[in-house]
Structure 1
Amino acid sequence: MSAAPAPVTLIFLHYWAGSGREWSAVVEALGPDYHCLTPDLGGFGDAPAPSRGYSVEAYASEVEALINRQQLADYVLVGHSMGGKIALDVAARQPPGLRGVALLTPSPPTPEPMREEERQASLRSYGDPAAAEATFEHITARALPDALRQQVIADNLRTSKAAWDAWLLQGSKEDICALMPRVQVPVFLLAGTADAVLPPQVHQRELLPCLAEATTFHFIEGAGHLLPLEAPGEVASALRQFLAELAVG
């Protein structure tokens, strides 16, 4: 009797000033059907500074190194916000074994639309608990339990200053749109209709023109920017549908 095929691996990439633990409820909702990796990216969560720097390209190389260490042969990238831009850079490299990319309200491949005064305010807010709490209020639309509120604030405050500044001054400004024709796998886009950070119209203007026409775009009503925390069940259902369309898992 032949052994059952190994489950597809989902590699979850988190948002800026977050950590891999944002995916806990999504992974739980997916159950045992998939092998899930939720790494902290360099300078965030418990991860040390990345060895290759803080550019989008460097983070993508960090993800590629993880893929190689794990010897993955069948996997899907799931990127949220900053993690979405990194996932697209990885996909543009056409690594073997990549089956698809799911993007949750991603930072676009073009420079992220942000007013300079907002950028400077974010730079000044590093390490400020009151600012971290205000950020939580701004980036969420659905009510969350206090434990998750404290988790988001704690992840914000434990981000390294180097990683914090580098995304604001470098990564978010990078333009990798010219690389997007090299993304040859299906791409699935999910956004919250109440996202105050990257609302759906930003994806329509900045992301979709860079991607293949077959890219699918779906919405979660009334959700803000932190989709994996605000709507884990809906995110898991959407991922299951995408994976079914890829005929994996």
Structure 2
Amino acid sequence: MPFIPLADFRMHYVERGTGKLTVVFVHGWLSSHRWWEPVLHRLPPGVRAFALDWRGAGDSDPVEQGHTLLQYAADLQAFADAIGLPPFWLVGHSMGGGVALRYALDHPDHLRGLVLVNPLAPFGTRTDPQMDAWVRAQHGNPEGIRAMVQLAFAILPSPEVLDSLVIDAMRWGPVAYFGTLDDMARFHVVEELPRLQIPTLVIWGDRDVVIPFDGIATVFTRIPNCGLEIWHGVGHSPAHEAPDRLVRVLMQFIDECQSIERGA
């Protein structure tokens, strides 16, 4: 398994394909690179793709500090520097969408474009106290974690795939679990979004019970020239529920942006 040593941990990543087009995929809360595997296997030739595991997630080293979206964005930049990536296309899902927004705001020159898949709302999470207490109580509880993973799907994956995602979610230690949970509630970039000038596309499934539509609408209306696709019948996890469609839309978006670049 490939690892890259960063300042205070070894980041695990997977790499697929070769070519001049570089795409980086980043995952969400209680997740890992495995949430992107259906997409990675479907990418066309000519795409060099990376899917990362955040510190303490997936196969990356466990770390007892730094579990904030700001630090994850810094880890992404450290990864890009260590690998020597050219300007790339960044695709973020759920909490990873929030990290991707933070990264795009802080490092716009390193990106060619941004795709946000059911991203964290730019005003953070607004979980009612009762639900927040329930989520906090599920750490280390296999049945509770499985229930949360299942909530991410309108169309469940195979039992084998679901089991692998639950195992990954169970591997999130208390510092990562609660640290990111708290930081997602603090996350707020609404006022910063208008200064984003890179091509951006937002994708949201209308059966998502995790991310509210007003968060999606805020991203769409605040980022200049942002595109929006709403997918009927899809939940919080398009990479598993509609991977062929996601790859098709991603590549179409990249092709259109490149055509505009050439025209300019």
- Output the TM-score relative to the length of structure 1: 0.90
Work out which of the residue numbers 123, 141, 146 in structure 2 matches 1:110: 123
Q: Is the 8 A contact 2:31 2:168 kept in 1?
A: yes
Question: Paired residue for 1:43?
Answer: 56
* Pair 1:170 & 2:159 matched: no
Partner of 2:9: none
Structure 2 contact 220–227 (Cα < 8 Å) conserved: no
Structure 2 counterpart of 1:186: 199
What residue in structure 2 maps to residue 63 of structure 1? 76
Q: 1:46 to 1:71 in 2, by over 3 A?
A: same
How far did residue 6 of structure 1 move? 4.4
Amino acid corresponding to residue 157 of structure 2 in structure 1: L
Q: Which moved more, 1:136-145 or 1:102-111?
A: 136-145
Alignment of 1:82-231 (within 5 A): 82-204=95-217, 206-212=218-224, 214-231=225-242
Task: In structure 2, list runs of 5 or more residues that go unmatched.
Answer: 1-17, 260-264
- Inter-CA distance 171–198: structure 2 relative to 1 (3 Å threshold): closer
Contact 1:189 1:218 in 2 (8 A): yes
Q: CA RMSD in A?
A: 1.9
2: CA distance, partners of 1:127 / 1:51: 17
Residue 149 of structure 1 aligns to a residue in which SS?
helix
Corresponding residue pairs, total: 242
SS in 2 for 1:219: strand
CA contact under 8 A between 1:52 and 1:58: conserved in structure 2?
Answer: no
Residue in 1 that maps onto 2:255: 244
Counting aligned pairs with the same residue, the percent is 26
Amino acid in structure 1 at the alignment position of 2:247:
A
**Would the aligned equivalents of 2:94 and 2:117 in 1 still touch at CA under 8 Å?**
yes
CA distance in 1, matches of 2:110, 2:228: 24
Bigger relative contact order, structure 1 or 2 (CA pairs below 8 A, ≥6 apart): 1
Larger deviation, residues 226-235 vs 239-248: 239-248
8 A contact 1:196–1:224 mirrored in 2: yes
CA deviations 1:35-84 (Å, max 9, x no partner) are 11101011211112458612211111000111111111131110000000
Would you tell me which structure has more strand in proportion to its own residues?
2
Q: Among 32, 49, 72, which residue is 2:45 paired with?
A: 32
Gaps of 5+ in 1: none
Tell me the equivalent position of 2:3: none
Checking the alignment, whether the CA contact within 8 Å between 1:139 and 1:224 is kept in structure 2 is yes
Per-residue CA deviation, residues 148-197 of structure 1 (Å, 9 max, x unaligned), is 11122111111121111012112332212233233220110001111111
Q: How has the CA–CA distance of structure 1 residues 80 and 8 changed in structure 2, closer, same or farther, with 3 Å as cutoff?
A: same
State the Cα distance separating 1:119 from its structure 2 match.
1.6
Does the Cα contact within 8 Å between 1:119 and 1:168 map onto a contact in 2?
no
Is the CA contact (8 Å cut-off) linking 2:64 and 2:175 kept in structure 1? no
TM-score normalised per structure 2: 0.86
Cα distance in 2 for residues equivalent to 1:8 and 1:43: 28
1:8 corresponds to 2:26: no
- The 3-state SS of whatever aligns with 1:77 is strand
C-alpha distance in 1 between matches for 2:241 and 2:185:
23
Query: Which region of structure 1 is more displaced relative to structure 2, 192-201 or 123-132?
Result: 192-201
Q: Conserved in 1, the CA contact under 8 Å of 2:22 and 2:89?
A: yes
